[in-house]
């Protein structure tokens, strides 16, 4: 896989030379780009309830500093303007308008949070400003027909659920599935994803239990699932409840096959507090390389990532999944801008973002490729199953596609 | 209890000035009005949008000012009424195709009713206890909006996207500018209504209750009625502000109306000067622009910078913008004499 990368790069380089020769006479720009600079806007919750994700914005800024230090993109420097919305939708609208109308950016890149992105989606699509690679897992961002200026990046919750359902159909076709899910769009997206793949076999789900984030404990839901004779427990939970569930399972000595949503697959945040001895054998899925995993120490992609951290973002924690994420998504944007050549119009940015072919950012698992098309606005669709063993996750099986196969 | 009472009493010490001092002089009012009318012609759409938000939050702060500055009751639950107003407008516009201008009175009346009803149990509470009860309202609201039962109308966690109204009669101005002038007219109307309310018999009853409940009831003021009435009026105005906010932002979601909003409004009232109605707009400017200033000073420490700025304001001018206004008025007066 990786051996073919230099060739792709060479091909791309040739393509650029062609493109730039052809376009030499006709450099095209929209607001936010000129001969020396490309302005990129961004909105992050640096304060407020989701401020832990602010690290993503800082990583991106550091990554663009690196690109600028290395000469920029086709000779143009990136100017990255990132504002705080405190995870509040009205504030996100204000900041998006400020970026578009006052700072006059070319694109709004990687704004974070489902509510904030929903709030600015219509505005940006009316203004025809790209809302590129939004940082949320909701499935609604892949809708090029109605929102041609909005594109996601990470695998959606539904596509992750597709992978679990496919895995179960293959490995345990007689499973009696019990689902515990959070009663919001996050939980419901997963549940829909499971049922979409199971289709006629949806009867495999013998019990569904939903919980509210306001509930102090989810013990009774777990007891109910056990009583329903469940032998595959799918836990669509956020970290706090995921850890509670793992503990409760051990407490009542119940050992079903346990599948945990990627959101909560954090070693430090969930497995450790729940107890490593209770977490053995839990399954989940992922698409990025784990910065803590020594198996990547000699991986060329991760070596670049570690070198970047050392030189441009010494404060960044390589164990933090947000840093790995920010690096990958920033690299994807740089690829899109490279492909744009000298035609830096908003329409061309979307066109190039919708024609990524087998692009592999450094921090994604080997074999996971970004592919998009004018009708496919979901850049990452593949993930790999993993099993918790000892004190870390071990990748199992191969790369799986989260796309629905009919 | 006593700490909060102290704040109230201290507020009174200043407020004991004649009711005239609740407003600006005619000259100043007209200057401000002229500025508000003219600036949009020279500003970008984004600035116009910010000015619209300034007026909208100004209305919400004004509403709280009537409640706290007028009748002496505390509320940390204004975000709940703001949310009800916003959702009323959004749902009527998007689900039932009602004209945006008509949704505002509905939002106002609905919130008046909600505030009036909430005012009933709140009668038994005062000071910090009342603040806590309203606080509960603010924390409960986002979760209520997420309930599956209401999801058909509210759109659940996803919220609702609202269509921005076009200017009527094919006026050659942008949507933002139209919305700004629309908001400005409503704001002025509500401002005049509020000033007159506080100068009227009811307003005097509010203030009598604020200053001394027992004395007020001895004078024949129906304490229970006027206290709940103050809650109702305040909630109603907040509801109109919420409806306008939904139209301006074009989006409503439960996460927009958390306790943070209630605290921001409370903060705006204190910074603007408790009981001084023109201060509402200053307070609103503070809660909109100061976080942006703080962010431009330091991104990582924006919260801390905001805290320091807030502390400075409270420390230097504890009575907020009204104090600045009074001092500058005196200085101008002296200047004129010499």
DSSP string, A292-310: T-GGGTT-HHHHHHHHHHH
Give the distance from residue B14's alpha carbon to the nearest chain A alpha carbon, in angstroms: 34
Are A282 and A302 in the same domain?
Answer: no
What's the ipTM? 0.76
State how many domains chain A has.
2
Question: Is residue A406 in a domain?
Answer: no
Is A102 in Cβ contact with B256 (below 8 Å)?
no
Rounded average pLDDT over B220-232: 89
Are A100 and A218 in the same domain?
Answer: no
Question: Is residue A174 in a domain?
Answer: yes
Q: Nearest chain B Cα to A102, which residue?
A: B46
* Nearest of B229, B244, B236, B231 to residue B112 by alpha carbon: B236
Are A96 and A9 in the same domain?
Answer: yes
Low-confidence residues in chain A, pLDDT < 50? 1-4, 17-25, 406
Beta strands in A351-405 (DSSP E): 382-389, 392-401
pLDDT at B23: 66
For residue A21, the enclosing domain spans: 2-155+294-375
The domain spanning residue A234 has which CATH number? 3.40.50.2300
- Give the pLDDT band of residue B329 (cuts 50, 70, 90): confident
* Nearest of A374, A323, A375, A293 to residue A57 by alpha carbon: A323
pLDDT at B220 over 70: yes
Are A175 and A146 in the same domain?
Answer: no
Question: Is residue A83 in a domain?
Answer: yes
Please list the residues that pair with A42 across neighbouring strands. A82
pLDDT at A63: 96
Most confident stretch, A279-288, B69-78, B163-172, B295-304:
A279-288
Residues of B in contact with A119 (CB under 8 A): 159, 249-251, 253, 256
- Give the pLDDT band of residue B20 (cuts 50, 70, 90): low
Question: Given A94, A101, A121, which is nearest B45 (Cβ)?
Answer: A101
Give the best residue of A62, A82, A90 to mutate against chain B (max B CB count within 10 A): A90
In this structure, whether the domain defined by B2-337 belongs to CATH 1.10.3470 is answered with: yes
pLDDT at B335 over 90: no
Q: What is the pLDDT of residues A245-261, one digit of tens each?
A: 999 999 999 999 999 99
Which residues are CB-neighbours of B45 under 8 A, at least 6 positions away? A97, A101, B174, B176, B177
Is A46 in Cβ contact with B302 (below 8 Å)?
yes
Question: Is residue A380 in a domain?
Answer: no
Rounded average pLDDT over B18-31: 68
Asked if residues A117 and A134 have their Cβ atoms less than 8 Å apart, the reply is yes
Are A118 and A237 in the same domain?
Answer: no
Q: What is the mean pLDDT of chain B?
A: 84
**Reported pTM:** 0.80
pLDDT at A12: 53
Are A118 and A256 in the same domain?
Answer: no
Question: Given A82, A84, A93, which is nearest B251 (Cβ)?
Answer: A93
pLDDT at A362: 93
Question: Is residue A32 in a domain?
Answer: yes
Are A112 and A123 in the same domain?
Answer: yes
Are A245 and A311 in the same domain?
Answer: no
pLDDT at B256: 85
Higher pLDDT, A6 or B227: B227
Are A253 and A395 in the same domain?
Answer: yes
- For A179-295, where are the alpha helices, taking DSSP H only? 185-198, 219-227, 239-251, 272-274, 276-279
Is A89 in Cβ contact with B249 (below 8 Å)?
yes
Are A391 and A245 in the same domain?
Answer: yes
Are A100 and A9 in the same domain?
Answer: yes
Domain ranges of chain B: 2-337
Are A222 and A127 in the same domain?
Answer: no
């Amino acid at each position: 896989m990786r051996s073919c990368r230099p060739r792709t790069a060479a091909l791309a380089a040739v393509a650029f030379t062609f493109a730039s020769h052809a376009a030499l006479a006709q450099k095209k720009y929209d607001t936010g780009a000129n001969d020396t600079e490309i302005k990129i806007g961004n909105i992050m919750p640096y304060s407020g309830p989701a401020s832990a994700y602010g690290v993503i914005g800082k990583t991106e800024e550091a990554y663009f500093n690196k690109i600028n230090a290395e000469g920029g993109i086709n000779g143009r420097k990136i100017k990255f303007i990132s504002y705080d919305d405190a995870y509040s939708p009205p504030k996100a609208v204000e900041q998006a308008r400020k970026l578009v109308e006052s700072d006059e950016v070319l694109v709004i890149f990687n704004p974070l949070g489902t509510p904030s992105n929903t709030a600015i989606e219509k505005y940006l699509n009316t203004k025809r400003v790209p809302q590129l690679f939004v940082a949320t897992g909701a499935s609604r961002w892949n809708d090029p027909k109605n929102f041609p200026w909005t594109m996601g990046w990470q695998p959606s919750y539904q596509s992750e659920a597709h992978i679990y359902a496919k895995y179960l159909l293959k490995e345990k076709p007689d499973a009696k599935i019990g689902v515990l899910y959070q009663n919001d769009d996050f939980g419901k997206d997963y549940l829909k994803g499971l049922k979409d793949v199971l289709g006629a076999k949806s009867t495999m789900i013998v019990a569904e239990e939903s919980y509210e984030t306001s509930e102090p404990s989810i013990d009774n839901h777990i007891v109910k699932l056990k009583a329903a004779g469940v032998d595959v427990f799918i836990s669509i939970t956020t970290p706090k409840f995921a850890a509670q569930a793992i503990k409760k399972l051990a407490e009542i000595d119940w050992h079903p096959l346990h599948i945990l949503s990627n959101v909560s697959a954090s070693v430090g945040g969930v497995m450790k507090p729940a107890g490593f001895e209770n977490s053995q054998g839990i399954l989940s899925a992922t698409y990025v390389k784990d910065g803590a995993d020594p198996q990547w120490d000699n991986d060329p992609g991760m070596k670049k990532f570690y070198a970047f951290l050392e030189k441009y973002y010494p404060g960044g924690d390589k164990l933090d999944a947000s840093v790995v994420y920010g690096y990958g998504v920033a690299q994807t944007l740089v690829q899109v801008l490279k492909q744009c050549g000298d035609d830096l119009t908003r329409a061309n940015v979307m066109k190039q973002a919708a024609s990524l072919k087998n692009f592999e950012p450094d921090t994604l698992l080997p074999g996971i490729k970004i592919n998009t098309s004018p009708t496919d606005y979901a850049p990452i669709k593949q993930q790999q199953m993993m099993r918790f063993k000892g004190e870390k996750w071990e990748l199992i099986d191969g790369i799986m596609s989260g796309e629905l196969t009919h | 209890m006593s700490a909060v009472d102290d704040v109230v009493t201290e507020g009174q010490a200043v407020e004991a000035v004649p009711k005239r001092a609740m407003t600006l002089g005619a000259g100043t009012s007209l200057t401000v009005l002229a500025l508000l009318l003219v600036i949009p012609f020279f500003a970008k759409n984004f600035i116009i949008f910010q000015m619209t938000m300034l007026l909208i939050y100004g209305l919400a702060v004004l509403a709280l000012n009537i409640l706290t500055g007028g009748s002496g009751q505390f509320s940390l639950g204004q975000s709940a009424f703001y949310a009800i107003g916003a959702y009323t407008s959004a749902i009527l516009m998007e689900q039932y195709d009602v004209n945006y201008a008509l949704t505002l009175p509905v939002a106002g009346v609905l919130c008046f009713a909600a505030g009036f009803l909430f005012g009933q149990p709140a009668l038994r509470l005062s000071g910090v206890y009342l603040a806590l009860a309203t606080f509960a309202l603010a924390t409960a609201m986002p979760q209520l909006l997420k309930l599956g039962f209401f999801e058909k109308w509210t759109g659940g966690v996803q919220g609702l996207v609202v269509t921005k109204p076009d200017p009527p009669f094919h006026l050659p101005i942008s949507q933002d500018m139209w919305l700004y002038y629309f908001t400005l007219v409503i704001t002025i109307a509500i401002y005049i209504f509020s000033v007159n309310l506080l100068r009227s018999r009811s307003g005097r009853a509010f203030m009598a209750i604020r200053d001394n409940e027992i004395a007020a009831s001895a004078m024949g003021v129906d304490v229970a009625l006027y206290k709940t009435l103050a809650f109702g009026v305040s909630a109603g105005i907040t509801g109109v502000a919420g409806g306008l906010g939904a139209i301006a932002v074009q989006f409503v979601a439960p996460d927009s109306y958390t306790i943070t909003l209630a605290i921001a409004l409370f903060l705006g009232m204190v910074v603007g000067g408790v009981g001084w109605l023109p201060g509402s707009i200053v307070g609103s400017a503070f809660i909109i622009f100061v976080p942006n200033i703080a962010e431009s000073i330091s991104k990582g420490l924006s919260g801390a910078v905001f805290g320091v700025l807030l502390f400075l304001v409270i420390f230097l001018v504890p009575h907020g913008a009204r104090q600045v206004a009074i001092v500058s008025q005196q200085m101008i007066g002296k200047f004129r004499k010499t």
